[in-house]
């Protein structure tokens, strides 16, 4: 598919049939990706799962977990082959809208200190840093800090 032939993605719910595609995207996107088990657990354990699809094909996804009136964003990923088109922002706005529909007033998340694209997306979307979880994320050569952020919904 050529860039000029690409339409606008649609947001929908994740399904168990998305598991293989999620795993492929996760492995492309991260040096230390979520495992198939992590993804399957999120699908089956009541987490809110949202898909970003282009002509029916999964190009991104997000998982959230509700705790009373807070939503915790666990994972938001756009396939690296499709990044840079504003679809992460589109998916984040859909995630925030779903959280509001579920009665949440704020969203919390952790993001890798070195993930400058994601940090910019979250800051541009109104999230503020509220802390640091030292040595939170595994990396191929050790561990990396997580920036903890909160955003009003």
Three-class DSSP labels, 66-101: EECCEEEEEEEEECHHHCCCCHHHHHHHHHHHHHHH
Look at residue 125 and give its three-state secondary structure. coil
2 within some domain: no
Mean pLDDT of the chain: 94
Q: Kindly report the CATH number assigned to the domain that includes residue 103.
A: 3.40.630.30
**26, 122, 137, 144: the active-site residue:** 122
Q: Which residue has the higher pLDDT, 58 or 2?
A: 58
134 within some domain: yes
So what's the pLDDT on residue 46? Answer: 87
So what's the pLDDT on residue 16? Answer: 95
3 within some domain: no
| pLDDT bucket at 1, cuts 50 / 70 / 90 | very low
Per-residue pLDDT at 4 exceeds 80: no
**26, 61, 110, 144: the active-site residue:** 110
CA dihedral 127, 129, 134, 139 (to 10 degrees): 40
So what's the pLDDT on residue 140? Answer: 87
So what's the pLDDT on residue 5? Answer: 58
Q: Is 110 a catalytic residue?
A: yes
Per-residue pLDDT at 9 exceeds 60: yes
Considering the entire predicted model, what is its pTM?
A: 0.92
pLDDT tens profile 11-57? 999 999 999 999 999 999 999 999 999 999 999 998 999 999 999 99
| Distance in angstroms (rounded) separating the CA atoms of residues 142 and 45 | 29
- Which structural domain, as residue segments, surrounds residue 20? 8-152
pLDDT tens profile 75-101? 999 999 999 999 999 999 999 999 999
| Distance in angstroms (rounded) separating the CA atoms of residues 146 and 137 | 7
74-108: string of b/e by CB count within 10 Å (b at 16+)? bbbbbbeebeeeebbebbbebbbebbeeeebeebb
45 within some domain: yes
So what's the pLDDT on residue 147? Answer: 97
Count how many domains the chain has.
1
144 within some domain: yes
């Amino acid at each position: 598919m050529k860039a000029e032939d690409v339409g606008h993605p649609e947001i929908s719910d994740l399904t168990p049939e998305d598991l293989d595609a999620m795993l492929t995207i996760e492995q492309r996107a991260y040096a230390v990706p979520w495992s198939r088990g992590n993804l399957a657990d999120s699908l089956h354990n009541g987490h809110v799962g949202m898909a970003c699809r282009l002509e029916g094909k999964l190009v991104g996804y997000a998982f959230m977990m509700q705790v009373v009136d807070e939503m915790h964003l666990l994972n938001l990923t756009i396939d690296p082959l499709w990044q840079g088109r504003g679809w992460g922002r589109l998916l984040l706005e859909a995630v925030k809208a779903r959280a509001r529909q579920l009665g949440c007033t704020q969203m919390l998340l952790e993001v890798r200190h070195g993930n400058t694209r994601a940090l910019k997306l979250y800051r541009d979307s109104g999230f503020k840093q509220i802390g640091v979880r030292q040595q939170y994320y595994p990396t191929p050569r050790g561990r990396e800090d997580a920036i903890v952020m909160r955003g009003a919904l």
